Amino acid sequence: MVSMFRGDSSFRGAITFASLHPHSTHCVFISDYDCNEPMESNAKGGKVIRWSYDKMMGKCKPTVQGEQRGTRNSFTSEKQCLMTCSSDYDNIYPPGDAVCDLPVESGPCLALIPMWSYNKERKLCESFLYSGCQGNGNRFENKDNCTSLCINPKKGRTGGADVSGEQASETDAGLVIGIICGVVFGAAFLVTLSLYLVQRKKLKKQHKPVPTVEMT
């Protein structure tokens, strides 16, 4: 029998119950992870991004580490770290389509990763920029994954109208508006720059020094 512990910020691993006597059971604790160990950052020789649990903040943080794991507080992904160490995991990554009810969270880090999330108010899958850390399970790598989990099952259960056409048209309209605004802004900038250069050239001509002629 194997079981996993989560949520007490201590040793995490598997407990194996082995029978050493016909009438007794012995418990052996085998731990691959320890959420209480200090975070290790080996930036000098670091080659990979791994995740460690910060027990003071109750969050998992990315750190640059070597290829060989130097601490048991080291995980290959934020999700694995949270699942092992945090009691909030089930709230951040609820099972099934419950993630579709979560608000969009970009997270506090500095990356700009294009992702998709489900907007339950508009009943649409929308793109957003993910910062690279924290956030929640309402985050998908592409639109199809978002649609298949958050839109298609609801249509199948309720027989609702097909919103994919509406979603596509609204997305296309947003792109068109963005492109038009970008073109208008670019044209206005070029016109302003041209006027500035012409005016500057005129001012230089006006202030050009007049050569003096010696009187004999």
- Is 147 inside any structural domain? yes
- The first and second tokens of residue 137, run together, are 């399970």
Nearest partner of 81 among 133, 141, 23, judged by Cα: 133
- Domain residue limits at 133: 94-162
pLDDT above 50 for 100: yes
pLDDT, tens digit, 9 for 90 and up, residues 71-96: 888 899 999 999 999 999 999 999 99
Say what percent of the chain tops pLDDT 70: 55
- Is 149 inside any structural domain? yes
- Is 98 inside any structural domain? yes
- The first and second tokens of residue 28, run together, are 């052996």
d(CA 195, CA 54): 56
- DSSP conformation class of 209: P
Confidence band (pLDDT; 50, 70, 90) for 176? very low
- Is 38 inside any structural domain? no
Confidence band (pLDDT; 50, 70, 90) for 69? confident
- The first and second tokens of residue 79, run together, are 């999700």
| Confidence at residue 164, expressed as pLDDT on a 0 to 100 scale | 43
Average confidence score pLDDT of the chain? 72
- Is 172 inside any structural domain? no
- Is 124 inside any structural domain? yes
pLDDT above 60 for 191: yes
- Is 134 inside any structural domain? yes
Looking up residue 120, the CATH number of its domain turns out to be 4.10.410.10
Q: Is 19 exposed, middle or buried (0-12, 13-18, 19+ CB in 10 A)?
A: exposed
**How many domains does the chain divide into?**
1
Confidence band (pLDDT; 50, 70, 90) for 66? confident
pLDDT, tens digit, 9 for 90 and up, residues 149-175: 999 876 654 333 344 444 444 444 444
